[in-house]
Chains A and B, each alone.
Chain A
Amino acid sequence: AQTVTQSQPEMSVQEAETVTLSCTYDTSESDYYLFWYKQPPSRQMILVIRQEAYKQQNATENRFSVNFQKAAKSFSLKISDSQLGDAAMYFCAYRSPQGAQKLVFGQGTRLTINP
């Protein structure tokens, strides 16, 4: 079974600075999908960014980018120019392309933005 590990329970960053959240995963599959979800205080889960394992190019969405290292099974999220609205829980998730396509989540990282 696949597992996802986020080793940083909490992170903090100054407003306008850059922060990187770590995620590692374990799988024997060669093709899969990886996601970062944001959960603000409202607790609504919001998709931030996704990465297909067969794509070597790292995904980017505005201020959010990933560093996908397939051999190392690492999938970190970089947030540039941090804003107060970025404060939230961030979850890394894995999904197999086969079967029910259920998500396997990490434990989450709580990100605090200091003004």
Chain B
Amino acid sequence: DGGITQSPKYLFRKEGQNVTLSCEQNLNHDAMYWYRQDPGQGLRLIYYSQIVNDFQKGDIAEGYSVSREKKESFPLTVTSAQKNPTAFYLCASSPTAAGSSYNEQFFGPGTRLTVL
């Protein structure tokens, strides 16, 4: 089955620790995205990548880092610099990043991060 997997589903972290959230897709999509979801708010973009070895900051990138060494993988690291990291994190991918044609974003099941 093609799709996007995120692991783990639930993650607990102590204050001051870095933690990495996994996102893998087997849809052969070029573009990948990380969103953060807080209660009462919509999804906000953290980072995105249009091609391998390239990525750009989204609207709330401070305290986060990413890498894109493989087309299928786009891990997100939540660093100790992130002031309020407790949230639900969603990864998404889409076929192509450029152009005006319609490109649907497909979402993974998400990771719930709680800082203790």
Contact = CB atoms under 8 A, between A and B. Distances in A.
Contact of B56 (A93, A100, A106): A100
Interface of A: 4, 6, 9, 31, 33, 42-45, 47, 50, 52, 91, 93, 97-103, 105-108
Chain B interface extent, by class: 20 to 34
Nearest to B58: A102
B100 A97 contact: yes
A11 B103 CA distance: 30
A107 B41 contact: yes
Main secondary structure of the interface of A (DSSP, over half): loop
Contact of B43 (A47, A91, A98, A100): A91
Given A44-B110, A91-B42, A105-B43, A52 B90 contact: no
Contacts of B35: 103, 105
Given A43-B109, A44-B107, A103-B105, A98 B42 contact: no
Nearest to B103: A101
B68 interface: no
B56 to A, nearest CB: 7
A91 B92 CA distance: 15
The list of the 9 closest CB pairs from A to B, nearest first, reads: A105-B42, A45-B107, A97-B100, A105-B43, A107-B42, A43-B110, A102-B45, A106-B42, A100-B48
